[in-house]
Structures are given as C-alpha cells and as structure tokens.
Amino acid sequence: MMRFLITGSAGFIGFHLARRLLGEGHEVVGVDGFTPYYDVTLKRDRHALLKTLPGFSEAVLMLEDAAVLARVAEDFEPEVIVHLAAQAGVRYSVENPRAYIESNIVGTFNVLETARALNLRHLLIASTSSVYGDREATPFAETDRIAHPLSLYAATKGAAELLSHSYSHLWGIPTTAFRFFTVYGPWGRPDMALFKFVHGIKRSETIDVYNHGEMERDFTYIDDLVEAVRRLIDKPPALGAPVSHDSLSPTAPWRVVNIGGGAPVKLMDFIAETERALGRKAKLNFLPMQPGDVRRTFADAALLETLTSYRPATTLRDGVRAFCEWYEDYYAGADRADRAVRDR
C-alpha cells in the first residue's frame, strides 16, 4: 500500500486515476479547487464517488495557496505525487491568459516546493501534446525540441516541464513528465470535442468543425491513459540509466514520456464514428482554424512501450461508444447536460 497525493482529483483524468489507485488498496488524498472553468457539478459528482471508496480523503484548496498545500502534504506524507491540476484548454488561453499563469506556473511551482520538502519515491507531472506545436515531422518524439508553442497553454505546460527538471536536478527528485494526447472517455470534460459533438448531435444542433475538418488527432482512451500512468508510477527515473528511445536527462533523474497510441484519426472520421454510435447524422458548421490550435498530433509511443511494455490500444469505436453510453446515463436529464455545455 502506498500514499498518493493527486492534484486535480475532481478533474477528468485525476478522478479516473484516483479510482484506480483506491481500487488497488492505496491511500489517496485528492486536492482540487473546484474552479468553474466548466460545470462544477460534474467535478463534485466525481469526488462524491471517490468519497465512497476506502482510503480517499478530500482537500479542497487552490494550488496557488502554498501554505495550505504544504500543510496537507506534511500531514499526509505522500510517497508519490501526481500533479494533474491545471488550467486546461488551448482556445480559452486566448480569452483568460492570467488563469494559465496562476494555475500552471505558480501552482506547479508550489507543488515542486512541496515535493522538495518530502522524501518522494516519484513525482509525476502532466504535460500535453500541445507543447510540440504545429510541426510537419511526425511522429512527435520526446527528444524533439519544443521551443515554438502556438498557445499560452502549451507555453505554460512546457515551462512546467522545465521547472520540474530544475527541481529534479537540484534536489534529486525522481520525476516523470508525461505528455497526454487528446484523452477522451466517460466522465470527460464538457469543453472537449467529443462531449460537444455528442451534445449537439443528440439535440439536432449544429456542431462547429474547425479548419474545415482538415485536422487529425492521436486520441487516447481514458482507461488506456490511466493504465500507462499506473505503470509509469512504478518506473521512477534514475540518473545515468537510460533505456532505448530514452528522454532521460543527463543531469537529473528526470524524463518525459508521451502517452498516446501513435494512430492519428482524421477529424471527419471521428465525427463519423460519433454519428455511428448515436445513430444520427451531424449538422456541420465548417470554420477556419482557431488561434493556437494545431493541425495534427501524432505520438511516438516507443519510449512508453519500452518502459512499461504497454501501448494504448482501445479502438476509437469502443471508446466513443463507451463515452456515449456514459453520457446517456449521466445526463438522462436534458437540463443538466445543457447547463454543462452552457457553463463552458
């Protein structure tokens, strides 16, 4: 049994990871600020489910409050921290840039300061495929330069990676940063494409399709992502012990790992799969590319597979169907679904 501190535990990924760890018999303190970026009811319902499981405790706080975060960590004495809390969303970073600096930079700094005071087995920090920018060369490898972010969101996540590396070097903290590639599935966020597509198609409303549909994404089903993170938890980096395809730092027990299946899907095919799952056709509103967005993501998953003997493999058909089934069940009342989309 281990003790985990998970930031963003009421979020989409944090909730699923916490549930997995609790199911294994570990103790988890879930840290979340319940910010209103999207429907807070969804976040509270995720935490309510976690609170029914043995070993879970809730800490409601903002990561910007360094003293409270440090006190929670000091009392709980976690062996592993998984830092998932962040202000998400490429497009929203154009509207509200300050939220990204406060959460993704200041919040991450406070997590690192907290980690420095502990004797951690492993610190894991969430990053994003957005750090790669809009590049022609594919697939995206962890050793690629990430010096040209297109959005403030991507810039703050890249900065968080660099901050974590410096702390790993200075204080010997075994640290893994993982770059997520378009995660989807049950309990997903209302601001993400699949949620919006399902919501719109079910109501015969027009859905927005950016770059006139000429986009591709390396989609990762939530259970696959959680499995990958769970396996990485048991693989803390060690200085001077590289493996094949490694991004291991030459100066710190630190590495970055892509989590994606390495199988990009065309946006129009993704919409067609959603139509198939719902048994309805979509009404499409084709729009130009949005500021900060990228045309294609494509993960090189070789390092993940080398480290964990695992690679995400859930088919898009199975993943989309699972999301639609959850949506039908959770949003049986139309008013609640409408509120979720309206709030974001």
Q: Which residues are catalytic?
A: 153
Give the DSSP letter string of 223-257: HHHHHHHHHHHT----TT---TT----SSSSEEEE
DSSP 136: S
Sign of the Cα torsion 43, 45, 48, 54 reads: negative
Q: Is 235 exposed, middle or buried (0-12, 13-18, 19+ CB in 10 A)?
A: middle
Q: With contact defined as beta carbons under 8 Å apart, do 79 and 4 qualify?
A: yes
**Residue 198: phi, psi to the nearest 5?**
-65, -45
From CA 122, how far away is CA 226, in angstroms rounded?
16
From CA 332, how far away is CA 106, in angstroms rounded?
39
The angle formed by the CA atoms of residues 171, 172 and 175, to the nearest 5 degrees, is 110
Furthest CA-CA distance within the chain: 57
Q: 31 is written with which tokens? A: 């840290």
Give the DSSP letter string of 49-74: HHTTSTTEEEEE--TT-HHHHHHHHH
The one-letter code for the residue type at 61 is: L
Residue 137 C-alpha from the chain's centroid: 24
Give me the residues paired with residue 125 across strands. Answer: 83, 177
